[in-house]
Amino acid sequence: MSVKELHKATQSQEYFVNMGPQHPSTHGVLRLLLTLDGETITKVEPHLGYIHRSIEKMCEKDSYQQIVHLTDRMDYLSCHMNNEAVCLAVEKGLELEVSDRVKVIRTIMSELTRLSSHQLWWGVMGMDLGAITSFLYGFRDREMITDIFEETCGARLTMNYNVPGGVMFDIPANFQTKVKEFITHFRKKLPEYDQLMTNNIIFRNRTEGIGILTKEDAISFGVTGPSGRASGWSNDIRKSHSYSAYDRVDFKEIIRTEGDSFARYKARIDEMWESMNIIEQLIDNVPEGSCREKTKAVIKLPKMEIYQSVETARGELGVYINSDGKKNPYRVKFRSPGFSNLNALNTMAKGGKIADLVTIMSTIDLVIPDIDR
Amino acid sequence: MKAIINYIKEVVGGVKTLINGMKVTGYYISHPKEIITQQYPENRDTLNMVDRFRGEVIMPHDENNEHACTGCQACEIACPNGTIEIIQDRILNEETGKKKKTILKHVYHLSMCTMCNLCIEACPTDAIEMGKGFEHAVFDRSQLTKVLNKPGSKLRAGVEE
Ligand code: SF4
Ligand code: SF4
């Protein structure tokens, strides 16, 4: 041991700090146990369970129609995709083919949900880094989408719009005009996001090169969604296991190779442009047809196992249903994107400062109820 | 020397990006029409809720204080979290001399409701629907347990299970 090392070993002292469970930048009740050396992080240990509601267990007593509304409460910002995942799984089990109209409506609604989720994320990310302005701009544009949701299904956040066999209500008459109005509006407003944040020097310095996640780590931790794609891993379920109407639209999968916080940020911004492209391709030709196939009042799946995954705003959401032929499932398991993405936090934050940890947590877009279920 | 020039360049470039961002803020200060904030609760009178808005479950009654609920319990079964309780009684029908199930109370626990719309879908006689009220704050939680059928109300004639 050299003198310098000896000095360091006797002078430095590790200590623990609890970040959360009530920390504003964890966006919910997540407790991070930080091991610190000065201000440098040597270890991050997430502790879960503060908002565990045992949704998977509750599903075991619910009928298949009732499960859908519980998934609203997991990743509440991607509630439409969560609903869709369960409905697709049940439809797979029933071998029920939904009409083209349903597929297109579901796809448009999913992309609107993704847009609204990313807008909120953008606003909140600015706030985490100390820029409150972005929060107001993000919510301004998100308001238009929630208004569309409200008019379509009566709820703004926990929508419960999908039912096994279709969607609960048909789209209202002014749906198309409203969505087009929003797209025109948002195409003008999205460059403002770049002007306010992306090009801001303080923001750049706080994100570039911070929290690097290599492609290997992304794959081994299963970091999906924009966070994984920013590390160069192509994992878009919409492309690889296409569902609903994604096979008939033309869109790019956003892949970046840097793997740092800025790449994750930029991936989401670019995804918003792509989502708008998808909606524009579909909105003018929503096929005619019924918006809901008739199902039995009591849905019974045959004895089988089903797995269905969808791409939510945060990554791959998998629904596993094990049915024993009764009207309730025997076991339901959700593979939630937030949980896997959180696992990579230690790898990304090690060696950085506490302020960097806040940046990293913002860029992997944590939603705690999704992690805890 | 080079380092100093680079440093100055960086500072100037940085200030430029900040000014660029401030331009957006400046634009909205000078264009107050584009600000979309709603003045709630001042705008309560003009506030229009959309038709499908899910605020609470209500049971519409007509002018004769009659409703369409037969007490079939379909909504109670469809509800995922036990929000609805139907309390029934058997009442003697004088004409036929048989006892018939009749609804006494349609109890609705607003505090447990997740506004999922499943009960409304399940009701065979469309006796309940989603109301547009959303100001549900009360001082005591017992006030959140409501009886949806009004006192003295009857089943509308002609409504069958
Ligand atoms: S809206 Fe849903 S939770 Fe509320 S009473 Fe109806 S079924 Fe139950
Ligand atoms: S409200 Fe409708 S579903 Fe519920 S008990 Fe009355 S008739 Fe039956």
Q: Please tell me the predicted confidence (pLDDT) of residue A9.
A: 66
User: Rounded distance, CA A151 to CA A40, Å?
Assistant: 49
- Strand pairing report for B99-109 and B145-147: antiparallel
Q: Please tell me the predicted confidence (pLDDT) of residue A72.
A: 87
Domain carrying residue B135: 57-154
User: Rounded distance, CA A203 to CA B17, Å?
Assistant: 10
pLDDT of residue A62 exceeding 60, the answer is yes
Of B17, B25, B114, the CB nearest to A158: B114
Residue B31 included in any domain? no
Candidates B17, B47, B75, B76: best to mutate against A (most CBs of A within 10 A) is B17
User: At A286, is the pLDDT very low, low, confident or very high (cuts 50, 70, 90)?
Assistant: confident
User: Rounded distance, CA A82 to CA B40, Å?
Assistant: 32
Q: Which amino acid, one-letter code, is at A233?
A: W
Q: Please tell me the predicted confidence (pLDDT) of residue A320.
A: 92
Q: Please tell me the predicted confidence (pLDDT) of residue A1.
A: 65
Question: What average pLDDT score do residues A51-59 get?
Answer: 88
Per residue of chain B (161 residues), what is the pLDDT tens digit?
A: 888 888 888 888 888 888 888 888 888 888 877 777 778 888 888 888 888 888 888 888 888 888 888 878 888 888 888 888 888 877 766 666 667 777 778 888 988 888 888 888 888 888 888 888 888 888 988 888 888 887 777 777 777 65
Average pLDDT, chain A: 86
Global ipTM: 0.81
pLDDT of residue A26 exceeding 70, the answer is no
Q: Which residues of B touch A194 (CB under 8 A)?
A: none
User: Rounded distance, CA B42 to CA A225, Å?
Assistant: 42
B102 lines ligand 2 (CB under 6 A): no
CB pair distance less than 8 Å for B17 and A143: no
Better-scored residue on pLDDT, A109 or A293 = A109
Ligand that lies nearest to the alpha carbon of residue B159, given by its number in the listed order: 2
Residue B146 included in any domain? yes
Q: Which stretches of chain A are DSSP H helices? A: 3-11, 55-59, 64-71, 79-94, 100-128, 132-153, 175-193, 201-207, 215-221, 225-229, 237-240, 261-283, 337-343, 345-349, 354-363, 368-372
Distance between B3 CA and the closest CA of chain A, angstroms: 18
CB pair distance less than 8 Å for A195 and B116: no
B88 φ, ψ (degrees, to nearest 5) = -115, 165
CB pair distance less than 8 Å for A200 and B21: yes
Question: What average pLDDT score do residues A154-182 get?
Answer: 87
Q: Which residues of B touch A189 (CB under 8 A)?
A: none
Listed in sequence order, the residues at least 6 apart from B45 whose beta carbon sits closer than 8 Å to its beta carbon are none
CA B78 to centroid of ligand 1, rounded, Å:
8
Residue B70 included in any domain? yes
Q: Is some CB atom of chain B closer than 8 A to the CB atom of A60?
A: no
- Scanning A149-178 for CB atoms below 8 A from B yields 150-155, 158, 160, 168-169, 172
Number of domains in chain B: 1
User: At A353, is the pLDDT very low, low, confident or very high (cuts 50, 70, 90)?
Assistant: confident
- Percent pLDDT > 90 in chain A is 6
Residue B69 included in any domain? yes
Residue B103 included in any domain? yes
| A185-222 pLDDT tens trace | 888 888 888 888 888 888 888 888 888 888 898 899 98
Q: What is the CATH number of the domain that holds B135?
A: 3.30.70.3270
CB contact at 8 A, A56 and A333: yes
Domains of chain A, earliest start first: 53-371 (1.10.645.10)
Distance between B128 CA and the closest CA of chain A, angstroms: 16
Q: Which residue has the tokens 């911004």?
A: A269
pTM of the model as a whole: 0.87
Count of pairs with CB atoms under 8 A, one residue in A, one in B: 65
pLDDT of residue A145 exceeding 80, the answer is yes
B128 lines ligand 2 (CB under 6 A): yes
Residue B49 included in any domain? no
Residue B136 included in any domain? yes
Q: Please tell me the predicted confidence (pLDDT) of residue A4.
A: 74
